Chain A
């Protein structure tokens, strides 16, 4: 049965490889991408989402001669599966109108899905790594289609770095335990295991764009195809955190680290890194003018919170982290898709060149607005509950450095949220000739917005979904009903918020209804008495260098970033390589001398 899903996905990817028409390919891959969803729904009966069951088995051993791959679905994998595979059909729906021609997006996307499915089902390290590399390879090919030098180089080099780090970690673990099965691996607090855990977490952190290893993200996110980037930021970045969760809690790496350093310093450093990447990512985000780069930095920031949760490690924190991961998967995909829809109509990426799109594309704007509420953790969507849990956890553990950084980072989120809203959607109406995005795009975006609303009102369902994963990992769960989460420090009642909001809306609504108003064109503006037409040739759109004042203050501190560090490293390597190439003088007599010298040296080394 599982083999069937794998083979179906692979077959679909091979079929779409030869379908030139994008629509057909989209339909095929949409159907194919529903298979994992069906599997997830089916497994849900065990893990907390009871809809229906057709009895899909939960584990399989696939033995391809000489090497056995063990697959089995755990509660954790199921939760991440819910997070990731429910993203894909809407994205495919979006791509239906995004790609007229099949330029190779669909086959490799399906290949990617297969790889992700494999990673989630893997129950030994070989399988995990094999599918991890498949994921890296196929996503690299998708990046490669973006045709951007920096993106290609940075993505490939960082993927290889992460792969080799993970592989070394696996090898160390294997040399310690002599087994690759998760179930048989038993960690002990020795330096080999600890270094293995740290290496693997570093490797996974690359994929989830954690701060020192994030340098690839802005280039890749800003150049690849939108639907893929939506999945890259929404889905693939979570795979890194899946791996981290696996290392830290499922195979209890956190405990090992704690024993080894006999303090929580290691996990505290992880949390601190997460908080710092949330902070710096936010600062970089609202100074960015390229919409996709802005969203890339915002992804770095939002993903940082998850690392904070894992670093803190209490049940509250991990619940919050998983919740945040779920939210981020959805709202960030919507934002990237909305950016794609806007570009699909206007063909522009620079925020300072866009403007007034909302009047022509109201539904795209609505979707983007809701996901921005979720991004800024405003309690109109489920975005708030996650961050709230994280703050509660941080405060209750008395983390006096991390909590303010997290809070101020999320305040900074308002800044770039407004920059997106104003610069792209509001302000001067510059695009009179465009119309609303095609129906499939809008439908895809709204499908992705749905969960944000549902889990606003019933965060309890989310906590139920992650319950068994947390219990299996030996982490307690947060006490909650369907709509009240209560921690040691306070409780958060979503119904109170929603109902209170409805009640509080009454006066505003009365004012709005009772006093009639007349709609006028935005051109009828206060421009110190000047009519708009006089300014017709000047931009009335104040989106250029939007945050200049604060940029002037902050830039001196932010200029020496990680990216510049990597560039410096790259240039240094270049210099080294030039010196090394001096060895090859091109003169055969030199080479002959090399041979003689070599002979003498090894002779001497061997004999004496």
Chain B
């Protein structure tokens, strides 16, 4: 009973910290982009301020109950996803599900968001959702191929297991997975909707697309969802390729702290990388992005998959 409560407490703690980290990252991201643009940029805690402002707006307008589903689904879904991801080697609910579950849990907030956007009745929102979904179709193909390569290599589909098995050697050290990691990183670019794949929320073409009608608490919850996605996707990448940032394996308190710190640094690294790409590239049109992912990315991913397959069967 007690350890069950402890587990609950740990889960709650880690999830909260993860969300806070996500919000922090939004500020850091804007800072980094600003520096690339040779600007000063906002303070790193800007994300907190924005969300606080949005949640304390005096009037909030809603387009009906389906529109409110966006608020509920998006936040719920992303927190649920984080629950199933090992963070810094601490597998919160990681043993209860696996990578496929995480993939589909990540669809809950997306679909809720899409529902709200659709319910807002704004044509721009619909177009934005269309682009987001096509983008999803595009980047999922290379990403799932790399994921399958990992699963076949480690002969498990549970992320926690994969993290465990990377104790000796992180996946990225293995030649085929270097290729796979490169592919997955470009997929990550699409997942985080950073340039060159930020067409779904292009502010000046379609008035920031899906969230065109969102304001006040709805927009605030969507920003929380964005923060969550940053953590979730980067953590997914780190768990899959960088051993979840686990460096110390003795169960001491210190090891938890160190692992957490390493995890933080790693996702910061990944996020910074994607932001640098974001800050220095123009925008792909949606069909260009689709072709990019399904032609070159998928090809490279598939090469790595076959490579791994040959390694495994031999």
Question: Given A398-B309, A515-B216, is A489 in contact with B118 using a C-beta cutoff of 8 Å?
Answer: no
The answer to the question of B144 belonging to the interface, with a C-beta cut-off of 8 Å to chain A, is yes
Interchain CB contact (< 8 A) of A519 among B63, B123, B144, B287: B63
Q: Which of A380-417 contact B (CB under 8 A)?
A: 380, 384, 387-388, 391-392, 395-396, 398, 400, 403-404, 407-408, 411-412, 414-415, 417
Specify the chain A residue showing the minimal Cβ separation from B80: A504
A490 touches B157 (CB 8 A): yes
In the complex, chain B residues whose CB is within 8 Å of the CB of A508: 71-76, 79, 221
In the complex, chain A residues whose CB is within 8 Å of the CB of B77: 504
Interchain CB contact (< 8 A) of B220 among A388, A408, A511: A511
B111 touches A395 (CB 8 A): no
Question: Given A379-B101, A407-B140, is A518 in contact with B120 using a C-beta cutoff of 8 Å?
Answer: no
B121 touches A517 (CB 8 A): no
A379 touches B61 (CB 8 A): no
In the complex, chain B residues whose CB is within 8 Å of the CB of A490: 97-99, 156-158, 161
In the complex, chain A residues whose CB is within 8 Å of the CB of B158: 489-491
In the complex, chain A residues whose CB is within 8 Å of the CB of B115: 421, 426
A542 touches B157 (CB 8 A): no
The answer to the question of A540 belonging to the interface, with a C-beta cut-off of 8 Å to chain B, is yes
Count chain A residues whose beta carbon lies closer than 8 angstroms to a beta carbon of B.
Answer: 74
The answer to the question of A582 belonging to the interface, with a C-beta cut-off of 8 Å to chain B, is no
Q: How far is the CA of A216 from the CA of B96 in the complex (A)?
A: 43
Question: Given A395-B157, A515-B217, is A426 in contact with B118 using a C-beta cutoff of 8 Å?
Answer: yes
The answer to the question of B247 belonging to the interface, with a C-beta cut-off of 8 Å to chain A, is no
Question: Given A379-B104, A525-B121, A550-B134, is A418 in contact with B213 using a C-beta cutoff of 8 Å?
Answer: no
The answer to the question of A358 belonging to the interface, with a C-beta cut-off of 8 Å to chain B, is yes
In the complex, chain A residues whose CB is within 8 Å of the CB of B101: 379, 384, 388, 492, 497
In the complex, chain A residues whose CB is within 8 Å of the CB of B145: 404
A549 touches B290 (CB 8 A): yes
Interchain CB contact (< 8 A) of B151 among A373, A395, A408, A491: A395
Min Cβ gap A436→B in Å is: 15
B97 touches A496 (CB 8 A): yes
Question: Given A400-B148, A507-B79, is A542 in contact with B97 using a C-beta cutoff of 8 Å?
Answer: no
Min Cβ gap A501→B in Å is: 5
Min Cβ gap A417→B in Å is: 8
Min Cβ gap A75→B in Å is: 29
B130 touches A546 (CB 8 A): yes
Question: Given A491-B96, A542-B127, is A380 in contact with B137 using a C-beta cutoff of 8 Å?
Answer: no
Q: How far is the CA of A400 from the CA of B307 in the complex (A)?
A: 11
B207 touches A526 (CB 8 A): yes
Min Cβ gap A486→B in Å is: 10
Specify the chain A residue showing the minimal Cβ separation from B145: A404
Interchain CB contact (< 8 A) of A526 among B68, B71, B122, B155: B122
B100 touches A388 (CB 8 A): yes
Interchain CB contact (< 8 A) of A411 among B83, B120, B129, B136: B136
Interface centre among B55, B68, B76, by most A CB within 10 Å? B76
The answer to the question of B291 belonging to the interface, with a C-beta cut-off of 8 Å to chain A, is yes
Residues of A within 8 A of B (CB): 356, 358-359, 365, 373, 376-380, 384, 387-388, 391-392, 395-396, 398, 400, 403-404, 407-408, 411-412, 414-415, 417-418, 421-422, 426-429, 489-493, 496-497, 500-501, 503-505, 507-509, 511-512, 515-520, 522, 524-528, 540-543, 546-547, 549-550, 552-553
14 CB < 8 A contacts A-B? A400-B148, A414-B107, A422-B118, A422-B126, A427-B121, A429-B121, A489-B156, A491-B95, A492-B98, A497-B101, A517-B60, A522-B121, A524-B61, A526-B122
| Interface contacts beyond A358-B66, A387-B100, A403-B144: sample of 8 additional A-B pairs, CB < 8 Å, sorted by A | A415-B134, A429-B121, A505-B76, A507-B79, A515-B216, A515-B217, A517-B68, A525-B122
